[in-house]
Amino acid sequence: MDKATNQREDSKRQPLAGKRIVVTRARTQAESLARRIEELGGEVIEFPTIEICPPESFAAFDDAVAKIDDYDWLIFTSVNSIEPFLFRLKRNGKTAAELTRLKVGAIGPETAQRLEEFGIHAGLVPERYQAEGILDAVKPETMEGKRVLIPRAAEAREILPETLREWGASVDVVVAYRTIVPAVDVAPLAELLRLRKVDVITFTSSSTVKNFTRLFDNKNLDALAAGSALACIGPITARTVEQLGGHAGIVAEEFTIPGMVRAIVEYFGSRPEVEHRF
């Protein structure tokens, strides 16, 4: 096998070889994305732009959990809501076994899988991994008079609860967690960006995008990340990138971590002339 053939084979096995990729997920959640990138030959720079924290008060959460039997639906929009919910459930003397009567919805396979690990089956996992997917999957007339509990982040889009209310449902939204800007040293990454030595910056939520700009004193994304491709887990995150002055050059068709990694690989596969800038 000649040298050129060897290089082609190596490229197939490690299509991200020589690519420097920034991971902005919370430190506690970065491993799965970082591992996939490294397995494909990429160099990972962990730069967490969000930190997941408890809500300022659990009062409303505990009130909802105490009357869990009154609800018809329980909808998890993120994997981050699951453990706080189950912890408060236990604190209120209840178990996951008491949820069997409820219809459970989950946005995304990662969320559904995490629920299964706790013995909770999500009967509704929409094909579109976003709030609109839940709305597409249920018939408006079936929600009339239903009581719905949505444990979620402190900052989230309102389309799901608002639409369900328009359909006649009684919806309680409780804060399961909040995200804050972590204390990180921006200087090393700032220097790499200045020298245009970053190939891709990944964003897995709108919060990761917003906090990225906050950590750099709200600089315009286009100027801040000039020379780097911006990879987004889905169109909502991509929209936030565009709103903050950036260009979402890579948007996953499947709104998951594996889907985003595939999109990054395809991006470089279609741009063989793109070389890493050492």
29 & 70 share domain:
no
**Which segments of the chain are extended strands (E)?**
20-23, 43-46, 51-53, 73-76, 103-106, 147-153, 170-180, 200-203, 229-232, 250-251
Q: 156 and 80 in one domain?
A: yes
Q: For residue 207, what are the domain limits?
A: 11-50+182-269
Is residue 2 in some structural domain?
A: no
Asked whether residue 239 is domain-assigned, the answer is yes
On whether the CB atoms of residues 231 and 266 are closer than 8 A, the answer is no
- pLDDT digit string (tens) for 191-221? 999 999 999 999 999 999 999 999 998 778 9
**Both 168 and 235 in a single domain?**
no
Same-domain check for residues 76 and 167: yes
Query: Could you tell me if 45 and 59 lie in one domain?
Result: no
CB 84 within 8 A of CB 57: no
Asked if the structure places residue 3 within a domain, the reply is no
Same domain, 43 and 61: no
Residue 128 lies in a domain: yes
| 154 assigned to some structural domain | yes
Residue 232's contacts (CB-CB under 8 Å, 6 or more residues apart) are 202, 203, 209, 238, 241, 248, 250, 251, 252, 260
Instruction: Give the neighbor-by-neighbor strand order of the sheet with 200-203.
Output: 43-46, 20-23, 200-203, 229-232, 250-251
Domains contained in the chain, number: 2
**Same-domain status, 120 and 155:** yes
Residue 5 in any domain: the answer is no
Question: Same domain, yes or no, for 59 and 107?
Answer: yes
Q: Is residue 277 part of a domain?
A: no
- Residues 103, 153 within the same domain: yes
From 143, 178, 213, give the residue that closes a domain: 178
pLDDT for residue 11: 53
The domain that holds 75 is classified in CATH as 3.40.50.10090
Nearest one of 179, 185, 180, 177 to 47, comparing CA atoms: 185
Q: Are strands 170-180 and 51-53 parallel, antiparallel or unpaired?
A: antiparallel
Can you read off the two tokens belonging to residue 171? 């919806």
Task: Give the end of a domain, one of 160, 178, 196.
Answer: 178
97 lies in the same domain as 25: no
In angstroms, the Cα distances linking 135 to 154, 159, 166 are 21, 9, 12
Residues 197 and 170 in one domain: no
User: Which of residues 125, 157, 178 is at a domain's end?
Assistant: 178
Residuewise pLDDT in 10s, the chain (278 residues): 444 444 444 556 789 999 999 999 998 889 989 999 999 999 999 999 999 999 999 999 999 999 999 999 999 999 999 999 999 999 999 999 889 999 999 999 999 999 999 999 999 999 888 899 999 999 999 999 999 999 999 988 899 999 999 999 999 999 999 999 999 999 999 999 999 999 999 999 999 999 999 999 877 898 899 899 999 999 999 999 999 999 999 999 999 999 999 999 999 987 654 444 43
Residue 212, domain member (yes or no): yes
Q: Please report where in the chains the tokens 């995008």 appear, as a residue.
A: 209
Does residue 58 sit in the same domain as residue 151?
yes
Helices (H), 77-171: 82-91, 109-117, 131-137, 159-166
- Greatest CA separation for the chain: 70
